[in-house]
Structure 1
Amino acid sequence: MLLPLGGRRIYYDLTGPEHGPVVCMTHSLMSDSGMWSEQMPTLLQAGFRVLRLDMRGHGGSDPGAGGDYTMQGIADDWAAALEALNLPRVHYIGLSIGGQSGQPFAIYHGDKLISTMLIACAPSSGTVGDDTSVWNRGMNAVRKANSVEPIADEVMGHFLSDATKKSRPGRWKQLRDTAAATTPAGMLGGAAAIMNYDFTAQLPSVRVPALALRGAQDPDGTEPAMRQLAKLVPGARYEEIPNANHFCNVDQPDAFNRIMMGWLDEQRKLT
């Protein structure tokens, strides 16, 4: 479904019992809400209502006016969507740029959150796994082709392990095709946001229960960065999933779902 938002439209999917606790899920750069398919049956069976949002220029969402995105602006999109859908408070789960934008969401819109899982991300652009030259090379390739297609295979090497590519080629192709179909404006705007953010000073002000989670083989959400994130947020916990790359929820769905449900059950007992 499409939600009008400041002259553009945000795609959302809201599924589950009307009065169930709401889990809001946001995805990585060059992906969309379909990256959470492995989590949907588990969440719905447990009685949660699940809101999945597509970021600007990704999936079914319009890229909006030209120019770079900011993490604050993306977080404001999430907050505006909750307001428009009359969802006062949610459990937030964000991976990669979903986790990066989840940080200003928790800092500036913490009243809308019950808890947050920040996955495969970092507290600042200075701690993102790839160096600036890698990002610049990828962005230049997208500009030259006016398409994300030229970098889709390389991106998938970060997203999923070789084991998943071999054992689940259909799922790998789904995610690869989604990456390739990302609008150039969405990729370039999001990449600019990833290269220019720093919440290290503000994260100690977060008062929302937080779990920092990563795949142990993730080249982008590195262990030092994720441990730093957990240390900066008061009371936050750090966990990692073995044999998983950036999309740890797809590489190791059973392990991810156990951690996710354990976390959500813990929050239910506290509220």
Structure 2
Amino acid sequence: MTAALHTQVQVKPQSQPGAEVVLLCSGLGGSAGYWGAQLPALLEAGYRVITYDQRGTGRSRQPLPADYRIEHMAEDVLEILRAEDVSRCHFVGHALGGLVGLQLALDQPGRLVSLSLINAWAAPNPHSARCFDARLALLDHAGPRAYVEAQPIFLYPASWAAAQAQRVQEEVEHALEHFPGADIMKARIGALRRFDVSERLAEIDLPVWVSSALDDVLVPATCSERLAKAIAGSLLHLQPHGGHAHNVTAPEAFNEALLGFLTRQIQS
């Protein structure tokens, strides 16, 4: 996998040379645009921020290798770091992106300054499996429109989605317009469903911040609690409300907690 991915590197003009790098890795959708609520806060804090469209998604429309795995996604991150001449970064991953971060922390820990995991998990669980079964059934039997229309149900709290109805519908239409195709989506879901590092979490030896919303309907908050318990020295941040995409629906609280964690790593 050598073709370049669509990558954006942003930094506030007056930032100091050699600014710390934060790489943001999205979830199943794979789009760099997912991080719109975090970019201003990170740039204002002086970080150099890398976002990218993951292989097969958005502006990185490329075939996926056979037996696509989280390891392939981790290798893509390493390619980005090499291309941008970044030796180490703070890695922030949402859901599937968190799995990529866990893989990197296990295989290439020297490339990470810290690891932030948002509504991630170490192993499959029956509730999330049921959700993915339902989403795949929609894709197979009702098509991409139904699959994309159902996405906000899994991402957002009902009250937030109802109050942001126009925004949510615009996201749905954008996702449908840029839908990567059923084969790509099934390969990405297959990769995250096969991921299991539950027996290796004790190997992780770097600063880790675990963030979850208690009302996430896709990934139980207990998955984050187990991560935090198994990774020595990790910090657990629980938000009472916000859903699977709580960094989008409750960005102020999320950004404050994330920046607090990142700042502590620079000061230590």
TM-score > 0.5, shorter chain as reference = yes
Q: What are the equivalent positions in structure 2 for 1:148-187 lying under 5 Å apart?
A: 148-180=144-176, 181-184=178-181, 185-187=183-185
Q: What are the equivalent positions in structure 2 for 1:111-126 lying under 5 Å apart?
A: 111-125=110-124
State the distance in 1 between where 2:208 and 2:86 align. Answer: 20
State the distance in 1 between where 2:55 and 2:144 align. Answer: 15
Q: What are the equivalent positions in structure 2 for 1:42-191 lying under 5 Å apart?
A: 42-65=41-64, 67-125=66-124, 127=125, 129-132=127-130, 134-143=131-140, 148-180=144-176, 181-184=178-181, 185-191=183-189
Match of 1:198 in 2: 196
Question: Would the alpha carbon gap of residues 128 and 27 (structure 1) be closer, same or farther in structure 2, given more than 3 Å must change?
Answer: farther
Q: Which of structure 1's runs of 4+ aligned residues deviate more than 6 A?
A: none
Contact 2:119-2:221 within 8 A present in 1 as well: no
User: Among residues 7, 15, 31, which one is paired with 1:12 in the alignment?
Assistant: 7
- 1:46 Cα deviation from its structure 2 partner: 0.8
Question: Residue deviations 1:55-109, cap 9 Å, x none?
Answer: 2222211242454421111111111211121111111100010011111011111
Helix, strand or coil at the partner of 1:195: helix
- 1:224 Cα deviation from its structure 2 partner: 1.7
State the distance in 1 between where 2:144 and 2:68 align. Answer: 17
Helix, strand or coil at the partner of 2:194: coil
Give, as a single letter, the amino acid of the residue that structure 2 aligns with 1:159: L
Question: Would the alpha carbon gap of residues 153 and 224 (structure 1) be closer, same or farther in structure 2, given more than 3 Å must change?
Answer: same
Match of 2:263 in 1: 265
Helix, strand or coil at the partner of 2:43: helix
Match of 1:213 in 2: 211
- 1:174 Cα deviation from its structure 2 partner: 4.1
Question: Residue deviations 1:9-39, cap 9 Å, x none?
Answer: 3111110045211110011112511111011
- 1:141 Cα deviation from its structure 2 partner: 3.8
- 1:161 Cα deviation from its structure 2 partner: 1.7
- 1:177 Cα deviation from its structure 2 partner: 3.2
Match of 2:253 in 1: 255
Give, as a single letter, the amino acid of the residue that structure 1 aligns with 2:116: M
The count of corresponding residues between Structure 1 and Structure 2 is 262
Match of 2:230 in 1: 232
Give, as a single letter, the amino acid of the residue that structure 2 aligns with 1:267: Q
State the distance in 2 between where 1:71 and 1:128 align. Answer: 20
- 1:247 Cα deviation from its structure 2 partner: 0.4
Cα root mean square deviation, aligned: 2.0
Contact 2:21-2:89 within 8 A present in 1 as well: yes
Question: Would the alpha carbon gap of residues 108 and 248 (structure 1) be closer, same or farther in structure 2, given more than 3 Å must change?
Answer: same
State the distance in 2 between where 1:64 and 1:9 align. Answer: 12
List gaps (5 residues or longer) in structure 2: none
State the distance in 2 between where 1:235 and 1:259 align. Answer: 17
Question: Would the alpha carbon gap of residues 182 and 68 (structure 1) be closer, same or farther in structure 2, given more than 3 Å must change?
Answer: farther
Give the TM-score, by structure 1 length: 0.89
State the distance in 1 between where 2:40 and 2:205 align. Answer: 30
Question: Would the alpha carbon gap of residues 94 and 129 (structure 1) be closer, same or farther in structure 2, given more than 3 Å must change?
Answer: farther
